[in-house]
Each structure stands twice: as structure tokens, then as C-alpha cells.
Amino acid sequence: MTSSPALPRVYPPKPSQVYLMGTCLVDSFDPQAGMDAIQFLQHHGIEVLFPQQQSCCGQPAFNSGFDDEARQVARQQLKAFVADIPVVVMMGSCAAMLHCDYARLFEGQPEEAQANALAARTFEFTEFVDRVLCLPPSPASGERVVLHTSCSARRSMGVAECHQRVLQNSGVEVIEPNRVSECCGFGGTFALKQGDISAAMACDKAEAVAACGVDTLVSADCGCLMNIGGTLAKQGRPIKTRHIASLLRQRQEESL
Amino acid sequence: MTVHNYDPALIAVQVDNDEKAFADLRQRHFKARAKMSLENEQLRGSFLGATDFLQAKRRAVFPDTDELEQLRDRGEAIRQQSLAQLPDLLETLEKNLTANGIQVHWAETAEQACAQVHSILAMNNARTVVKGKSMVSEEIELNHYLEKQGIECLESDMGEYLVQLAKEMPSHIIMPAIHKTTAQIARLMHTRAERSDGQSVSYTEDVDELIGNARAILRDKFASADAGISGVNMAIANTGTLCLVENEGNGRMSTTAPPIHIAITGIEKVVADLADVPDLLSLLTRSATGQNISTYFNMISSPRRGGELDGPEQVHLVLVDNGRSRMFNHPQLKPTLQCIRCGACMNHCPVYARIGGHAYGSTYPGPIGQVVTPQMQGLDKQGELVSACTLNGACGDACPVRIPLPKLIRELRHEANSTAPASELDIPGKGSQRHLGEALIWKGWALAHQYGPLYRSITWVLTRGRKLLPHHLGAWTATRTLPVPAKYSLHDLARGAGIGEQPANRRLNEGEA
Ligand code: SF4
């Protein structure tokens, strides 16, 4: 769901502890990205906590109009991320769900205040790295990547620049495809409900990515990576996909 | 001048084929319509090109983002204030229009609105009408109605004239014939347009000449029509003024040349003061076509007065509700009425760019159409439109009056699947998109994600059994490979790496699992 941020952003000084919200897609399909994020943050002296009770932010049901089901699942996250420390989220769209949409979901519910407090301490991964860690730039590595920023990261969270900056600061060259701000056509259940339109959008996006002539596509949204990456793979184009966290961790290890 | 070698018979067949294809398109459901559009290479190319062009024009005319955002704040505030006092403003509007000599009519439904226009025409024995562009008249299908009553109603906006010749409907708010190629237009003009001397228009693909031909035909009609119909972009309550934005001069002709002028508008278009106009006008023209100002801006405040040389003898305004009161009373969906019909949301919509306006099967296409149409026609009839959106938010970012379009679309999805008991404020067809299968999937999904141990068992099975998963998944795998789960979930890896779960004091206090 895309909406303007519910709360003005207040960035805390670098904390000693954070929660990591892996998100359900990262959990099953790219868990290494989650581990990379954990190790990256640990390396910067932050203790990362990973509540085993966490599952999904509830967005798939919420965006489909099934509010009760979304709320049941979201309640579980309120319980999992209960302590008053930042929650770093591995995907822009799930971060947006917590940061922008829990307000609507819990409006008038007993957990309203708790949900608003959680929203205020929720940060998208690159946003946390860029705005809270504030790392100095590393020397150029010569690596070039194509960056795709998800619509939620760009519009709801407003962190497109954070994506760019953390990559550039880590020493990689960032290339953006044609029609950079256009949706890749994933949209959660949209890809299933309106398969033809979604496929047309994904194919156009894949073509724009391929036209960049670079062999790695990065994003901080697993859904977009699956959609664009899956399309590229089906077309037989040798472009691999990576979560930004994995790339940052790799650069960190290389410069150790 | 480009004159092609052509076979008149072949051209007529092509025009007939286009019309049949359109009629066929209208018969289908949204998904089938979308598919037909997607398969039409020419259509896809022209829509993508047109939306790219319009986006670039809008960017160029708002070089200063701060100014744009401030203007959007003001636009939003004006529209919200106007809506907050809507009933009062409408009363004031009626009072002041009447004092100015403009006759006011109220219509609750589309049918009533058509009947009122017809009765005004009938009372004056009017048989021929020229129309400036009006989306509301498309919404109530006025042309169709009047045609059945034996009244000729000619569209005078160039794009509307072309889609009328083609027996189609507009595919965009601001550029109704955006979907047509020059060759198609040349064929239409040649086979369907009729000059006043009864001759057909010669075939040409020269754009200036095509426009010249159409203009000559329309000029004759302006001079001879019994009545003119127009839309309204803003109605000013405190002065009783009707404002009309246009580029071609056809609006001015339709509202001044014939002896009767009938304006028609949705009840939401009213604003309090003339002071509200400049900001809205600036937002409208810049967002719509990237123009700083439109060629014409008409302000109509009375019929012809004694001693004046031109202007209509009667001016009428038909105020159409057609579901707007219901939108007004819905706490979440009320912002729908903020719309100033600029079309920017569709110009920025990646779905619209790929399927075009006709696929939506409604007067208003794109994001605003997805919000307005189901509320007007019912979720049972047009509920599928609300699924045609990725919620990417580009429309909401583009909307000059900050209508939270993605939020409204999501809200409509909720309404479409609602099981809450019916109330008077409900959108017709509430709950009609709820299918047992989907509802069960969400129930199961909620269960699976609600209990930590259950969720972890499911991902355990998913990851360990990943080799056994099916390799095909409907539409997804037609153009994409299927994502394969990892060997171990992040939950597994984090536990294996000894990552803590809660801050130390909480762990002690609550004994977390
Ligand atoms: S919803 Fe907004 S962007 Fe779309 S037509 Fe209306 S005013 Fe313009």
C-alpha cells in the first residue's frame, strides 16, 4: 500500500540494539540477505535481535481488502517487536506497511497506540544504514549494478535516495534503467489477479534493466527482484539479482 | 499535402472493422478487454508514447518542486473546503445563478439528468445541438439518450468529434482520441464526416488539412445549431459564475452561438469564490496538458442581456448527483469528489499506459476511473476494476489536489470483500467481489502467519520440500521462472547463528519462546 508517511521521520542516534524484520519473502526465498544484513549491522557494533515469533507484516491481505485477516497477522508482529528499539525491515513494502498503514489498520483498536509507536521506530534497511549509521564513503570498487527501487520504498517510505547513497558509499557504481520510477508490475496479488497486465509490465521493466548492460540487478525488495529477475531468467538473460544488504556485506568483507 | 493512393471500399471496411472491434471490446469483461489491448501492438505503442510525452510535459511546466507542492497544498485545501461546505455552497450557487438569470435544474440520477436536458430542448423545439466537451454528459450517456429522442447532438471538441464519428467513447479525459492513429483518423473523416454541401471529405493524412476539414464542418454546425451544451470546470457560488476551460474555441462557440446554452456538471464542482479559481486553474492546465494556461477560459454569468450583440437567450445549468451524495457521505471515500478531472493520474499510471482507456469499460479510465466508476455503477458491475492496480502510488503522487487514490482503491477492495451488514451509505454491490475460495485462502494465510510455531513449521516444510514444489504457477510462470525457496529459512539461520530474540531484560521478564 502506498500512502504518504503517517509520521514525520525522526532519526535516532546510532542505537546499540535493533530488531531485524526479515519479512516473509526474505525468510523463505532469500534468507542469506537477512543474514548479510545482520552481519553487516553487527560489524558496525549493533546487536541485532531476531524474534522467532515474527512472520509477515500483513500487507498481502491488507492490500487485497481483507482487513480482519491482515490485523490478526499484524498483531503478531506487535507482539514480536515489542521492546522500544528500532525495527529494521528488509523490504520497502513491508516497512511501508508498518510505518504508513498500521495506523489505518489499527484505527480505533486497542493496539492503536502501540501500532503508532511501532510505526515511528520502523526503518527500511537502507534508510537505517544511510540516515542512522551515516557511514563514510568507501573507495570505488569498479563494480557496476542496476538499481531497481520498489514503489513503496520510493513513494511511501521516500528512501530512493538512501538506496542510491548506500550503494555509492560502498563503492559501487549505480545505473538506473529507463523509466526508473515505474512499477515493475508485481503488486503482490496483482501479479496473480491481473497476470497479463503484470507480465506486460514486468517484461518492459526487464527489457529496460537488460538495456543497461550490467550483470547484477539489486533492490531492497524481494518481490520486485523475483518479478524482474524471474522474467529476465525466463528470457534467458544472464543477469543475477541481489538484495542490497548482500552487496553491502560483500563490499564490507572485501574491504576488511 | 499527403494524398495516398487508396481504395475507398477498403477504407470503409477498415472503419467498419474498427467499430466492430470496439463494440466487441465493450461486450467483454475487464480482463479480456485488457488482454485485447495488450495484444494490440499499435495501441500499446501509442499509449506508452502518449503517457511518456504527457509526463515529460508536466515535469517541464513544474520546474520548481517546492512551488508545485505548495500549489498542491492550496489546491487540496480549496477542494476540501469546498466539499466541507458543499450543501451550503450549492444553495448559494443556485441563488446567485438564478439572480443572474441562469435557470438551475437538479438531477439525482443519470436518467433524470438526460430527461431534464431533453425537456429543455423539447420546450424550445430544439432539434440540433452542438456540444463542447463534457465528461458528465459522457457519464450519463446523454448523446445516446438524445439520439433516441430524435435530436442530433454533435461533439465539437476535435477528439470527441472523432470518437463520435467512430461510434466509440473517449479513452482519456483530456485527449479523448489519444488511441487513434493519423491513418485511422484520415479513414474516419473520409468515410463518416459529412460536409454541409453533402460531399464527403477527401482522404488525407495531412494533419493540418484534417483539422481544417473538421473545422469547416463544425463551423457550419455552430452557426445553425438550436442549442449548445457544455461542461463546467468550476462553478463559483458567491458570484453565480460558470467557468469553462478549453483549447479549441469550440466551447466558446457552443456556449455563445446557439440561442440556448445548457451547462451540465456534477454537484462537486462548486467552489466558494472567484479567488479559488487561479490556483485550481493553474493546477488543472499544468497537470493535464503541461500548459501554463489554456487557450480559452470562459466565465459565463448570465444569458444575453439587453443591448448585447451575442450570447444565448437562455442559460441552464443541470446539477447532476448520480451517486455523488453517497460519496460525500462516505468517510473514507469522500476525497473522490476532490477531483478536478485533469487526467494526470492516468498519465502516470503504468497500468493505463499498457492497456489504454477503453479497457476500463467506463467513462472515466485510469486510477480515478477505478475509484469513481464502481461507486457510481456498483461494485457488482465494475468491481473488477479495483483489482487492476499494483498500488504503486504514482497516481497519488501526480494528483494535483492530493487525492489519496491508492488508499481509495484499497478501501474499495475492502468494501468489495466486506461482509459487514448493509447500511444506507453503502456502495451498491458491497461485498459482491468476495469469493469463498479467496476468502478461505486469506483465512488460512492468517492462521499460518499468526502463530509463530505454525508459521515456522510451514516454512520448514516449504524450504525442506522445495524440490517437490510445482514448477508452474498460472500466469506467473508464463513469463517468469518460479522462485525457489532456500534450503533453510532466515528463522533457521538466525537461530543457528545464535541471534538473540529480545533485549536481555525483556527476555528475563517475559520468558519469550
Ligand atoms: S484524481 Fe487527481 S490526477 Fe486524477 S483526474 Fe482527478 S484531479 Fe486529476
Q: Residue A234 C-alpha to ligand 1 middle, in angstroms?
A: 37
Listed by number, the residues of chain A in 9-28 with a beta carbon closer than 8 Å to a beta carbon of chain B are 17, 20, 22, 24, 26-28
Sequential DSSP letters for B181-246: -HHHHHHHHHHH-B-TTSPBPPP---HHHHHHHHHHHHHHHHHH-SEEEE--SEEETTTTEEEEEE
The C-alpha cell at B149 is: 429522442
Q: What letter does residue B3 receive in the DSSP assignment?
A: -
Instruction: For B434, list phi and psi in degrees, rounded to 5.
Output: -80, 120
The pLDDT of residue B178 is above 80 = yes
ipTM over 0.90: yes
Mean pLDDT across chain B: 93
Residue with cell 489519496: B404
A191 interaction partners in chain B (CB closer than 8 Å)? 475-476
CA distances from B442 to A189, B154, B276, B352 (A): 12, 51, 46, 28
| Cβ-contact B188, B197 below 8 angstroms | no
Element (DSSP H or E) covering residue B70: helix B65-84
Residue B5 binned pLDDT confidence (cut-offs 50, 70, 90): low
Residue A7 binned pLDDT confidence (cut-offs 50, 70, 90): low
Please report, rounded to a whole number, the percentage of residues in chain A having pLDDT higher than 90.
94
Residue type at B100 in one-letter notation:
N
CA atoms within 13 A on the CB side of B65: 2
Q: Coil, strand or helix: which one is A81?
A: coil
The pLDDT of residue B506 is above 70 = no
Sequence ranges of the domains in chain B: 71-324, 436-497
Helices (H), chain A: 24-29, 31-43, 59-63, 67-80, 92-96, 102-105, 112-120, 125-127, 151, 160-169, 190-193, 195-210, 222-234, 244-254
Q: Residue B336 C-alpha to ligand 1 middle, in angstroms?
A: 9
Residue B473 binned pLDDT confidence (cut-offs 50, 70, 90): confident
Instruction: For B150, list phi and psi in degrees, rounded to 5.
Output: 80, 20
Report pLDDT digits (tens) over A163-187.
999 999 999 999 999 999 999 999 9
Residue B414 binned pLDDT confidence (cut-offs 50, 70, 90): very high
Name the closest-CA residue to atom 8, ligand 1: B342
B393 interaction partners in chain A (CB closer than 8 Å)? 2-3, 151-152, 155-156
Mean pLDDT, range B201-214, rounded to an integer: 93
Q: Which of the residues B386, B419, B460, B502 would you substitute to probe the A interface, choosing the one with the greatest number of A C-beta atoms within 10 Å?
A: B502
Whole-structure pTM value = 0.95
List of domains in chain A: 17-130 (no CATH), 137-254 (3.40.50.11810)
| Count helices and strands in chain A by DSSP H and E runs | 14, 8
Give residue A1's pLDDT: 40
Q: Coil, strand or helix: which one is B464?
A: helix
Q: Which of the residues A149, A194, A209, A249 would you substitute to probe the B interface, choosing the one with the greatest number of B C-beta atoms within 10 Å?
A: A194
Dihedral-angle region of residue B378 (phi above 0 means left; psi in -120 to 50 means alpha; beta otherwise): left
B263, β-bridge pairs: B230, B317
Residue A256 binned pLDDT confidence (cut-offs 50, 70, 90): confident
Taken in order B378, B379, B384, B387, the sign of the CA dihedral is positive
- Domain B71-324: homologous superfamily in CATH: NagB/RpiA/CoA transferase-like (3.40.50.10420)
Exposure string over B30-45, b if 16+ CB within 10 A, otherwise e:
bbebbbbbbebeebbe
Give residue B510's pLDDT: 47
The pLDDT of residue A6 is above 70 = no
B52 interaction partners in chain A (CB closer than 8 Å)? 179
Mean pLDDT, range A86-102, rounded to an integer: 98
The C-alpha cell at A48 is: 541485532
The C-alpha cell at B410 is: 484499497
* Among candidates A27, A155, A182 on the partner chain, residue whose Cβ is nearest the Cβ of B397: A155
Q: How remote is the C-alpha of B422 from its chain's centroid?
A: 28
A217, β-bridge pairs: A146, A241
Report pLDDT digits (tens) over B272-330.
999 999 999 999 999 999 999 999 999 999 999 999 988 999 999 999 999 999 999 99
Give residue A44's pLDDT: 97
